[in-house]
Chains A and B, each alone.
Chain A
Amino acid sequence: MSTATIAKPQAEQPGKGSRRVSLPVLLLIIAGVLVLTSVVRLVTGAHGITSTGQMSTALRLAVPIGLAGLGGLWAERSGVVNIGLEGMMILGTWFGAWAGYQWGPWVGVVFGIIGGALGAVLHAIATVTFNVNHIVSGVAINILALGTTRYLSKFTFENVPQGSSKQSPPIDSLGTFDIPGLSGWLDTLNTKHWFLVSDIAGLLGGLITNLSPLTVVAIALVPLSWWVLWRTAFGLRLRSCGENPVAAESLGVNVYKYKYIAVIISGGFAGLGGAFLSIVASNVYLDGQTAGRGYIGLAAMIFGNWMPGGLALGAGLFGYTDSLNLRGGTTNVHALILLLAILLVFGAAYLVWRKKLVPAVITAVVSAGMFAWYLGTHEVPKQVVTATPYIVTLLVLSLSAQHLRMPKADGQPYRKGQGK
């Protein structure tokens, strides 16, 4: 008996190792993409794709997506699918702005978190207590949040100066800061357009230029979430509710309590993401400000395989493609077509090596099409730029979805004592 149970995991070990991407391989891939990007930048002359400004914008756009993704992570790790993130973000933008213009931006941040958490309480009551289908409840929250904030705006923002039923009065800024010396130095290095060096300078410079204190908080929340969820007893219990609630219950974990806590924290994160949008990214609440970022956050989390690190990478990717919208998108996306075509060539070569000929041919044909598109045009239509984040999401998911593993009991109904 005992030998069999010990032998089993050992036998599985090598298979597991080859499927999972180890850290050196990941770093190598990132370095490879960076070199390729640099080459593409020099060939196309689209220096914008790795400029400090671009990276800084990308970071600002990635933060709300990442926060929504973290919210999704907390909820789904406890076994509750949270598609209501979008609605909780909407509540966050409104509450953040409402408190922010009256009592200062930091109070706004706190109220944003509370607003998101309020939506989450509703989600928790529906999904945990009443076992309602998680997606249905989430969709309902999204409708309700939209209606509620519009309704409330008519009572609050419409009657104050500089406000209207679709917009709040301006909120004071939280301020921004650079790292003195280093930011300027990296920026000059970036504008030299050297091979690779300037790209890395742009990337690093973007991360430390024009920083909002809330951005720093948001970035710190990624490792913090990892530490709490994977290195504390509380986190272990919470994750056990998402993997096997019946087993957790048998060990004395109050599954309902942990699910409630997780969903409410999830809403708090989404609300913080919303508050970031209305307080930092712009300085007013606008109707429709979230523009589906809650959903993209969810996609970033799935892309990141329900892990904080992968989620941050996903959020960065979406933030970057989104930032192309604001800064010279039509030429920059055009340059990225070349990058994608080159990446597809590598993909085709890999598939040939793995002796998967049919997918290899398809990949090669798509790659050739991309090259033709790149050579035949000088810039892409604006609409391609707006669609880029979503197309990238779909592409990345279709390439990676089969390697992903969600928490085992994610989205499953659970009743206390169901395992008896």
Chain B
Amino acid sequence: MKKFDKERVLLAVAGPVIALVAAILLTSVVLIASGKSPIEPYTLMLEQASYSDVQVLIINQASMYYLAALAVAVGFRMNLFNIGVDGQYRLAAMMTAVVGAHLALPSFLQIPTLLLVGMLTGALWAGVAGLLKVTRGVSEVVATIMLNAIATSLIGYLTLKDVWGVQVGNNMTTGTMKESGWVSGIDLGSDVGQIYGLVFLAVAMGVVYWIVLNRTRFGFDLRATGESESAAAASGVDAKKMVLTAMLISGAVAGLSGLPLLLGDAHTYSLSFPTGLGFTGITIALLGRNNPVGIAFAALLIAFLDKASPALDYATPVAYEKEIATIMQGLIVFAVVISYEAVRQWGLRRQQKQVGAELAAAAAQNNVQKKEVAA
């Protein structure tokens, strides 16, 4: 019965494509308005992407974005808005770095332990918001925003010199991690760089995400609760427990998202550790429509914008502002959500029309039959 509907595929692809085209057009308008060439920045950025060292940077960055976006997407599937991914991954990365600096196990134990520490820390921090939501009814949006700010202070305190901090020059770090906890990557030569080993973890998490959500009872309950809490409750799902579980899982995945960089390259948590991953994760989860493959493409796209745009500042003969990439990100989100909504409405109308046509045809046939009987 399940026949291949060409128009449905078209509908699924139309959203992102329309969004991208709209975002590029709008960005060009901004460029023209500021008296710059509306095309050259794109060619400059594409040229950047053809260098293999930039490609490695993009893949590494995308792996972190991918994990952060998965964390956001788990919440989204359940109608939960985990804005706290940002605080969760920073706190988790810091705790992992501290444990990694003080614990010395053989590699095959050390690395799983570190991953576990990251996941538990992230889950703990997200769990606070989950617990407040189910027991006290505090909106998870506000709670996670507050927890982000509190995480910043907490990290500031824990990296003080008389707590766990180690000063290196002007930078506060948590001390270098023991080498057994380093995850070696694929070395592509000194001038190209190294692909983080944990890129594969990101891919594996994508597969796990898909299996858990689409092929297990738990995933079904989770999606059902997201679609309609009352309907799920009627079929025996404990909504409160689901909220807490989803929050914990989201936090655990968020806790992993800083680790590719930490275990693969930085080996210490310092003031220069990247921030804002969680917010980019929201963009990416939206762009990828909570679909593991879609998120992968979205993560690569945003990582490309990130890593190819700094070159704009040094372009000759005309330099461009690299902030144009941030504007483009914001525009992409807008274009994406609006075009998805528009395409959805269009799809609904098309479906209504189809059903209407079928019903009309059936009714017409009935009438004909009746007439024949009457005749």
CB closest chain-B residue, reference A383: B157
Instruction: Annotate B334-349 by CB proximity to A: 1 below 8 A, 0 otherwise.
Output: 1001100110000000
- CB within 8 Å of A: which B73-126 residues: 81, 83
* CB of A391 closer than 8 Å to a CB of B: yes
| Cβ-neighbour of B132 out of A136, A137, A154, A394 (below 8 A) | A394
Q: Report whether B338 and A132 are in contact in the complex, using a CB–CB cutoff of 8 Å.
A: yes
Tell me the minimal C-beta distance from A236 to chain B in angstroms.
Answer: 26
Scan A137-149; emit 1 where CB is below 8 A from any B CB, else 0.
1011111111110
Residue interface bits A288-326, CB-to-B below 8 A is 1, else 0: 000010010011001000000000000000000000000
* Other-chain contact of B141, A135, A144, A145, A390 (Cβ < 8 Å): A135
Q: How far, in angstroms, from A214 to B210 measured CA to CA in the complex?
A: 54
- Which residues of A366-413 have CB atoms within 8 Å of chain B's CB atoms? 381, 383-384, 386-387, 390-391, 393-394, 397-399, 401-402
- CB of A63 closer than 8 Å to a CB of B: no
Known: A140-B334, A154-B321, A390-B150. A397 touches B326 (CB 8 A): no
**How far in angstroms is the closest Cβ of chain A from B159?**
10
Residues on the B chain within 8 Å of A61, using CB: none
Contacts of B149 in A (CB 8 A): 292, 387, 390
**Distance, CA A139 to CA B287, complexed state (A):** 13
Instruction: For the complex, give the distance between the alpha carbons of A147 and B324 in Å.
Output: 7
Q: Among residues 182 to 205 in chain A, which have CB atoms less than 8 Å away from a CB atom of chain B?
A: none
B148 to chain A, nearest CB (A): 8
Which residue of A122, A142, A150 contacts B323 across the interface (Cβ within 8 Å)?
Answer: A150
Nearest CB in chain A to that of B286: its residue? A136
A120 in contact (CB, < 8 A): no
Interface residues of B in 138-186 (CB under 8 A from A): 138-139, 141-143, 145-147, 149-150, 152-154, 156-157, 160
Q: Which residue of B lies closest to A158 (CB)?
A: B321
- Which residues of A (135-190) have their CB < 8 Å from a CB of B? 135-137, 139-148, 150-151, 154-155
Residue A130 is within 8 A (CB to CB) of chain B in the complex:
yes
Q: Among the listed A136, A142, A299, which residue makes an inter-chain contact with B146, where contact means beta carbons less than 8 Å apart?
A: A299
Q: How far is the CB of A374 from chain B (nearest CB, A)?
A: 18
Query: Would A136 and B333 count as touching, CB distance under 8 A?
Result: yes
**How far does the Cβ of A309 sit from chain B's closest Cβ, in whole Å?**
20
A383/B153 contact (C-beta < 8 A), A130-B342, A393-B146 known: yes
Complexed CA–CA distance, A150 and B330 (Å): 13
What's the least CB distance linking B128 to chain A, in Å? 8
**Which residue from A140, A292, A386 sits with its C-beta under 8 Å from B156?**
A386
Given A393-B146, A397-B138, A401-B136, decide whether A122 and B334 contact each other with a Cβ distance below 8 A.
yes
Interfacial chain A residues near B143, Cβ < 8 Å: 394, 397
User: Which residue of chain B has the shortest Cβ distance to A394 in the bound complex?
Assistant: B146
Across-interface contacts of A302 in B (CB, < 8 A): 139, 142
B282 interface hit (Cβ, 8 Å): yes
In this assembly, does B250 line the interface, its C-beta being within 8 Å of a C-beta of chain A? no
Q: A136-B333, A394-B132 are in contact. Are A386 and B153 (CB under 8 A)?
A: yes
How many residues of B are in contact with the other chain, CB < 8 A?
A: 43
Minimal Cβ-Cβ distance residue in B for A303? B142
In the complex, are the beta carbons of B323 and A154 less than 8 A apart? yes
Closest to B156 in A: A383
Measured CA separation A292–B341 after assembly (Å): 29
Contact of A143 with B279 in the complex, beta carbons under 8 Å: yes
Q: Is the CB of A147 within 8 A of B132?
A: no
Chain A residues with CB under 8 A of B136: 397-399, 401-402
What chain B residues lie within 8 Å of A126 (beta carbons)? 334, 337-338
Q: Does A83 contact B (CB under 8 A)?
A: yes
B257 in the interface (beta carbon within 8 A):
no
B277 → chain A, closest Cβ, in Å?
A: 13
Whether the pair A295, B327 counts as a contact (CB closer than 8 A) is: no
The answer to whether B61 has its CB under 8 Å from any CB of chain A is no
**Number of A residues whose C-beta is below 8 Å from B?**
43
**B236 at interface, CB cutoff 8 A:** no
Alpha-carbon gap, A401 to B152, bound state (A): 25
- Of all chain B residues, the one with the shortest Cβ separation from A386 is B153
Cβ contacts under 8 Å, B337 to chain A: 126, 130, 132-133, 136-137, 140
Q: Would you call A397 and B321 a contact (CB within 8 A)?
A: no
Chain B nearest CB, measured from A315 CB (Å): 15
Question: Roughly how many angstroms separate A147 CA and B138 CA in the complex, as a whole number?
Answer: 31
Q: Please measure, in the bound complex, the distance between the C-alpha atom of A245 and the C-alpha atom of B142, giving whole angstroms.
A: 25
A225 at the binding interface (Cβ < 8 Å): no
Contact of A147 with B333 in the complex, beta carbons under 8 Å: no
Tell me the smallest distance from the CB of B340 to a CB of chain A, in Å.
Answer: 8
Query: Given A83-B141, A140-B333, A143-B279: A132 and B341 within 8 A (CB)?
Result: yes
| C-alpha gap A151/B331 in the complex (Å) | 14
A131 interfacial contact with B, CB 8 Å: yes
Q: How far is the CA of A299 from the CA of B30 in the complex (A)?
A: 34
Are A144 and B154 in touch, CB under 8 angstroms? no
Rounded to whole angstroms, the CA-CA distance of A391 and B132 in the bound complex is 13
Give Cα A384–Cα B136 distance, bound, in whole angstroms: 24
* Contact partners of B279 in chain A: CB under 8 A: 139, 142-143
A384 near B132 (CB under 8 angstroms)? no
Interface string of B301-339 (1 = CB under 8 A from A): 000000000000000000001011111111101100110
For residue B334, give the distance in angstroms from its CB to the closest CB of chain A: 5
Residues of A within 8 A of B235 (CB): none
B334/A398 in contact, CB under 8 A: no
Which of the residues A131, A143, A393 comes within 8 Å of B333, measured between beta carbons? A143
A398 & B132 in contact (Cβ 8 Å cutoff): yes
Query: CB within 8 A of B142: which of A132, A155, A295, A391?
Result: A295
Q: A139's contact among B142, B282, B327, B328, by CB below 8 Å, is which?
A: B282
Q: Closest approach, in angstroms, between the C-beta of A258 and any C-beta of chain B?
A: 21
- Residue B137 at the A interface, CB < 8 A? yes
Cβ–Cβ < 8 Å partners of A386 in chain B: 152-153, 156
Decide: A298 and B142 in contact? CB cutoff 8 A. Answer: yes
A-side contacts of B330, CB under 8 Å: 140-141, 143-148
Cβ–Cβ < 8 Å partners of B156 in chain A: 383, 386
Nearest residue (CB) in A for B132 is A398
Do A148 and B327 have beta carbons less than 8 Å apart?
yes
Is B34 an interface position by the 8 A CB rule? yes
Other than the given A135-B81, A144-B327, 17 more pairs (CB < 8 A) read A126-B337, A130-B337, A130-B342, A132-B341, A136-B286, A137-B334, A143-B326, A147-B330, A151-B326, A295-B146, A299-B146, A384-B157, A386-B156, A390-B146, A390-B147, A390-B153, A398-B138
18 residue pairs bridging A and B, Cβ less than 8 Å apart: A122-B334, A126-B334, A132-B341, A136-B333, A139-B279, A140-B334, A140-B337, A143-B279, A143-B326, A144-B327, A144-B330, A144-B333, A295-B145, A299-B146, A383-B153, A383-B154, A390-B150, A397-B136
Binding site for A on B (CB under 8 A): 30, 34, 81, 83, 132, 136-139, 141-143, 145-147, 149-150, 152-154, 156-157, 160, 279, 282-283, 286, 321, 323-331, 333-334, 337-338, 341-342
Binding site for B on A (CB under 8 A): 83, 122, 126, 130-133, 135-137, 139-148, 150-151, 154-155, 292, 295, 298-299, 302, 381, 383-384, 386-387, 390-391, 393-394, 397-399, 401-402
